Structure 1
Amino acid sequence: MVSSEPVLVTTLLGSCVAVTIFNYRLRLGAICHAQLPGNGDRFDGTQDGHRGKYVDTAIREMLERLLHRGALRGELEAKVFGGADMFDARGRLRTVGRQNSEMALRVLEHEAVRVAKQDLGGECGRKIIFHSHTGEVLLKRMRKSGGC
């Protein structure tokens, strides 16, 4: 979602990752909620209409839309949330949550977008509320039986 209108976007995150990007000059905000790290070499994500499903293509799609609306790359500020290990991850070094987090940070670095804030990993889900007209993100960590 990309909007210059005031919109509140609420999403719940487990192993998924949400990335917000904001441009202060244009008061233009964007957010994605992606489930998987990348689309690999299978296809470019457009063949099945699910570019937003993958962290890499979702971020690049947001950037494309922001730049098309007049944002300059150096003016963009990103915030990254989610990537939790919601299930028993013992013995697994590269869980989906960890892969999603790593992909988001890698793409933003490659695209020269500054990450102003991040809240990634752990074992608990998160609820975020993104204010598209200010770039503000409110975060609440969800409780898990066993404690978080």
Structure 2
Amino acid sequence: MTIIKVGIADLQTVRAPDRIKTSGLGSCVGVILYDLTKQAAGLAHVMLPDSKLAKQSQKNVLKFADTAVDSLMDEVCSIGARKYALKAKMAGGAQMFDSASNQDSIGDKNVQAVQAALLRHHITPEAMDVGGHSGRTIEFNPADGMLSIRTVYKGETII
């Protein structure tokens, strides 16, 4: 078994028995699309909600929720997942800094943008661990669909 690491503003795919992992999810969101029957999965580490806010010269499509989810779907289907069978899980979107304003934090905006991008593909996340004020590291196992989440100061949970 190999653990495939996903960087910030990055995307990777994996087939069982390998696993996929990303660290450093503060306000970022880790979104996983997977087909349990085919034991295929992909993970995108999303930094920002909307690619329309980026300068054209700096447009890494994997950085933004609205474009990363589309790329994730294409990539996971390219390794054998079936679009109609895809399920999703997500984690992250923390508010890492105190804010005096009542506006949504970047973490909240990222969560909402990932959910909206998934909804465009008629996918509702099966499980989420989002929000709060702590960073996370996640690891997904495409063999059983379990997402392990290690949250700073809170330990590990499985969804």
Separation (CA, whole Å) in 1 of partners of 2:123 and 2:142: 17
For the structure 1 residues 3 and 139, does the alpha-carbon distance in structure 2 shift closer, same or farther, using more than 3 Å as the test? same
Q: Which moved more, 1:123-132 or 1:109-118?
A: 123-132
Whether the aligned pair in 2 keeps the contact of 1:73 and 1:112 (CA below 8 Å) is no
CA apart distance, 1:143 = 2.6
Separation (CA, whole Å) in 2 of partners of 1:38 and 1:132: 28
Please give the residue correspondences for 1:1-148 in structure 2 after superposition, counting only pairs within 5 Å.
1-5=12-16, 6-40=18-52, 48=58, 50-143=60-153
Whether the aligned pair in 1 keeps the contact of 2:40 and 2:80 (CA below 8 Å) is no
For the structure 1 residues 28 and 124, does the alpha-carbon distance in structure 2 shift closer, same or farther, using more than 3 Å as the test? same
Gaps of 5+ in 1: none
CA apart distance, 1:91 = 1.6
Whether the aligned pair in 1 keeps the contact of 2:87 and 2:123 (CA below 8 Å) is yes
Whether the aligned pair in 2 keeps the contact of 1:21 and 1:79 (CA below 8 Å) is yes
Whether the aligned pair in 2 keeps the contact of 1:76 and 1:114 (CA below 8 Å) is no
TM-score (norm 1): 0.84
> How many residues are paired up?
142
Summarize deviations over 1:41-67 as a string: whole Å, max 9, x none.
6577xx646111111211110101223
Summarize deviations over 1:21-46 as a string: whole Å, max 9, x none.
110121101001111111016577xx
Gaps of 5+ in 2: 1-11, 155-159
Summarize deviations over 1:101-137 as a string: whole Å, max 9, x none.
0001111111112311001111111121222444321
Give the percent of matched residue pairs that are identical in Structure 1 and Structure 2. Answer: 26
Separation (CA, whole Å) in 2 of partners of 1:43 and 1:74: 34
